[in-house]
Amino acid sequence: MDGFLEHWAQAALTSTGFFWMALWAFALGYLISSLIQVLVTQARMQRLMGTAGPRSMALGTFFGFISSSCSFAALSTTRALFQKGAGLAPAMAFLLASTNLVIELGIVIALFLSWHFVVGEYVGGLLLIGFAWLFIRITRPKRLLKQARERLGEDDEHDHGDTESARDKLRSRDGWTAIARSYVMEWQMVWKDVLVGFTIAGIIAAFVPEAFFETLFVGSGGDGSQPGFGAVLAQTLIGPIAAFATFIGSMGNIPLAALLFDHGVSFAGVMAFIFSDLVVLPVLRINAQYYGWKMAIYILVMLLSGLVAVSLAMHYGLAAFDLLPDSQGGGGGQQQRDLFKLNYGFVLNLIFLGVSAVLGWLWWSGRDGSHGHHHDHGGSSGGERVLKTGAVLAIVWLVGGLVVAAMPGIQVPSG
């Protein structure tokens, strides 16, 4: 019993430490995202995006980058752009850019992994967009597109004029209230994913033996040497399956990805796991609600084949220049050290907690019955209820584990 309590305490401390380590990165990324969302309106994007061609793809990618958000919010915006006449390829470019070319995601990846994975995320994101464009041009799903547009129907929303300049918004109380509202909504969109994801990461770090990773991901562990092509391919295919089972957004998946790499999973396998936020079950279900099951399966096949191909390309591209990061294998000890260390991250956390408090006060004081654009993970659907239940259980688990950690006589394993 004491062994279970000690591992419970270790899991709770690890999860809390992971979140504390990444808190300032979340806050900075969501602040930047909120500024962009308020200063660059969706109506402007819709007027500029076309239906096909390099210019439309470039604009879709750029607007996706500046509209970085969680997967579920990106799905809603992508649907709106497609419904308003954007082509499938530019819409997919927007979707992939807004979920992969994400400032806060890159910062969190750098904190938990290394610069190699940041390069893999951004360069791989661009390659994913190119793959999607090529896939659509080769397959030419005209019938599916027609059926999807008929299912969506005519757009009945009207774009409201926005004549206030970005400078005026930054100088006004109303402008900063809008930024605060967007900032709070960003947290509202992802807090359940982050909470569940970080909690699972702590549980895996404390309870799951390395033999499990070696069995699930063929060729992981060992002496740190790079596995052969067969093992890399197998790990790249297993990555999306593991992500599909967790159905957690990309931000919540990063500490899990770090644990996979720490247990010897290849660069390609880890990147495939990170890229898989758009091929999980809730995303498939939402796409089916928007476009119908045939179109949803088409998008799933396109994204799944793309992330496998791109992950392998990035892996062997880095290997060609002898730049593959070294995975130590042998367990998660290195991810558990210095999580609460007094360093620049500690100071940045305090600064951004203060910024968050100010923005939270602006949001609270500005609540006058007006509503911004809300996103959720599928409304009151089964997937959302499961996620809410998971978030409640995660809170109970973490609080209980921290209480256990404070009990006298409990020795928390060091790794």
pLDDT tens readout for residues 69-125: 667 667 877 887 787 778 899 999 999 998 899 888 888 899 889 999 999 999 999
Q: Which two tokens stand for residue 237?
A: 């295919």
Say yes or no to pLDDT of 302 above 90.
Answer: yes
**Looking at per-residue confidence, does 44 or 258 come out higher?**
258
**Looking at per-residue confidence, does 3 or 124 come out higher?**
124
Query: Rounded distance, CA 42 to CA 21, Å?
Result: 33
Phi and psi at residue 67, to the nearest 5°: -110, 25
Q: How confident is the model at residue 414 (pLDDT cuts 50, 70, 90)?
A: low
First-to-last CA distance in the chain? 19
* 41-50, 337-346, 403-412: the lowest-pLDDT one: 41-50
Say yes or no to pLDDT of 157 above 90.
Answer: no
Residue 115's pLDDT is 93
Domain boundaries, the chain: 2-151+173-406
Q: How confident is the model at residue 336 (pLDDT cuts 50, 70, 90)?
A: very low
Report which listed range, 14-18, 129-133, 148-152, 193-197, is most confident.
129-133
